[in-house]
A = this chain, B = another copy of it.
Amino acid sequence: MPTETFYNLPDDKRQQLVEIAMNEFASKPFEQASISSIVKQAGIAKGSIYQYFENKQDLYLYLIDVVTQEKLKFIQANMPPLTTGDFFDIYKQQMLVGARFNLSYPLGMNLLANMAKSPLSNETHTKMQQVADEYLANMVRQQQEAGAVRADVDPEIIAYFYKAIVNGLADYLAAKTGIQVTDWVKEENAKKLQGIDLVPIIDQLVNLMRSATAAQSAGKQ
């Protein structure tokens, strides 16, 4: 919820400010991110930023909103209209698109990760998490009923199992490339990160997920 004044800013100045602010909030948790540092980097007066945003939190929420929108846009643009394949193939596509977003837009990734690590409002964050978790668990339940996923393990456990693998992917890539996640933003690392071939990695992971959780009848390779 920025002010009119913010939107009246010349495009380049506005975008530059957003980028600088993103960098700040992506590299530090909310409390440590510094407005003073942002205005210094942006070369504007402290008072100016308070003509664009109500306060620190307002700016932060705006940035989260921007990133979220961009992530949705990215997913919509890059999610192929899968015509064939089973549940696991679909999941594989989703993982791939998510991972591609993270690699091509580490600033946004870190901002969202930071938000998850120390959320502004724990309550709303917890509720959002609950909704997401339930959605996944329901999906698993459906697949169990449809006979695609084994039914002898609690759907919540399987959902958590999937979630853990997805969540850990960034750390794995960090270990593999030797570049800490927080350094993904740096220009120098962009090429190396873009050069990662995600397909075989995610192939193997979904392979493991399939072996672990596919129903017996379909359980080959």
Contacts and interface: CB of A to CB of B under 8 A. Distances in A.
Interface of A: 29, 31-32, 117-118, 122, 126, 129-130, 133, 153-154, 156-158, 160-161, 163-165, 167-168, 171-172, 175-176, 180, 182, 201, 204-205, 207-209, 211-213
- The oligomer's copy count stands at 2
B129 A156 contact: no
A171 to B, nearest CB: 8
B29 A180 contact: no
Contacts of A157: 172, 201, 204-205, 208
Of the listed residues A126, A161, A201, A213, the one surrounded by the most CB atoms of chain B closer than 10 A to its CB is A161
A187 to B, nearest CB: 19
A172 B158 contact: no
B207 A153 contact: yes
A167 to B, nearest CB: 6
A168 B164 contact: yes
B158 A208 contact: yes
Contacts of A129: 175
B168 A208 contact: no
Nearest to A150: B211
A130 B163 CA distance: 23
A204 B153 contact: yes
Given A130-B175, A133-B175, A161 B205 contact: yes
A213 B205 CA distance: 11
